[in-house]
Amino acid sequence: MIALIIPCYNEEKRLQIDEFLKIQNQGLEFFFVDDGSKDQTAQMIAKHAKTHPHIHLVRLEKNGGKAEAVRRGMLEVQKLSNSERFTWIGFWDADLATPLSELSKMLQYASLYGHIDSIWCSRVYRLGADVQRSQLRHYLGRGFATLVGELLKIKSYDSQCGAKLFRPSTIQTAFSEKFIGKWVFDVEILLRLKNFVVIEYPVTVWKDVPGSKVKIHREIFRVFWEVLKIRKKYLKS
């Protein structure tokens, strides 16, 4: 079975829980982490949780950002008395920019490698793939990947795609400690998992969904500052 953490903040208008319910035959359980929403997101999730055993609500009283919502969700799942039933624990963006149909393809792709500790979706423009992303976000993404590659010595093509799976054995290493940033936390996970086997799966479908809470082009200096703080902590030499 797979447990998926879905971080949510003011997603009342965008969150389509029915889409998550369509693939219940694939052995999935969804843990929606409401990150202190000010709208009716939590109430909407709670309503579905009452009638669907595979839907769960983890409610945070105070907004802490995506990084903390994901971290808390991961740790909450691992604390469950029956958590051993999960072979993978992951997180997935609530807007389903990466469709859930990619899950089975991720696992098939990982089987080509033998033992894998974590699988990360990656948005790669190529023949046979339908990746719909604005030019601005694409070039900002390539710039970010180049930045972290140079400053943090990370080889990931696209560390920021919001669809990832982890073996339960990695959770404490990756998520027990709080992250430096509220949003730029994926690179910290990679640095924490340096002794584990992490691969990138090139998605076949990805669609940019309007309404993102993060406007990277407006916060580029904050992102750069967070990367520098991450470098100072993890690359002390």
CATH of the domain at 51: 3.90.550.10
Question: With the CA atoms of 183, 184, 185 and 191 taken in that order, what torsion angle do they form, in degrees rounded to the nearest 10?
Answer: 180
For the ranges 19-23, 58-62, 81-85, 139-143, the maximum mean pLDDT occurs at 58-62
Residue 188 resides in a domain: yes
Q: Is 108 exposed, middle or buried (0-12, 13-18, 19+ CB in 10 A)?
A: exposed
> Would you say residue 153 has pLDDT above 70?
yes
Q: Residue 116 and residue 126: Cα distance in Å, rounded?
A: 24
Q: Residue 4 and residue 24: Cα distance in Å, rounded?
A: 12
Residue 125 resides in a domain: yes
Residue 222 resides in a domain: no
pLDDT of residue 196: 97
Pair of tokens at residue 226: 């967070």
* Percent of the chain scoring above 90 in pLDDT: 74
* Percent of the chain scoring above 70 in pLDDT: 95
- Per the structure, the count of domains in the chain is 1
Residue 220 resides in a domain: no
pLDDT band with cut points at 50, 70 and 90 for residue 190: very high
Contact of 161 with 124, CB cutoff 8 Å: no
Residue 226 resides in a domain: no
Q: Looking at residues 163-188, what average pLDDT do you find?
A: 94
Residue 145 resides in a domain: no
pLDDT of residue 11: 94
Report pTM. 0.92
Q: How far is C-alpha 131 from the chain's CA centre?
A: 18
Q: Looking at residues 191-220, what average pLDDT do you find?
A: 84
pLDDT of residue 132: 93
pLDDT of residue 180: 93
What range defines the domain where residue 76 resides?
2-131+158-209
How many CB atoms neighbour CB 38 within 10 A?
A: 10
pLDDT band with cut points at 50, 70 and 90 for residue 143: confident
pLDDT of residue 27: 85
> Would you say residue 185 has pLDDT above 60?
yes
pLDDT per position as a tens digit, 105-137? 999 999 999 999 999 999 999 999 999 988 888
Listed residue (167, 140, 203, 199) closest to 86, CA to CA:
167
Helix 135-152 crosses helix 220-234 at what angle (to 10 degrees)? 20
Residue 56 resides in a domain: yes
pLDDT of residue 135: 82
Residue 104 resides in a domain: yes
Cβ partners under 8 Å of residue 116, min gap 6: 110, 167, 197, 198, 199
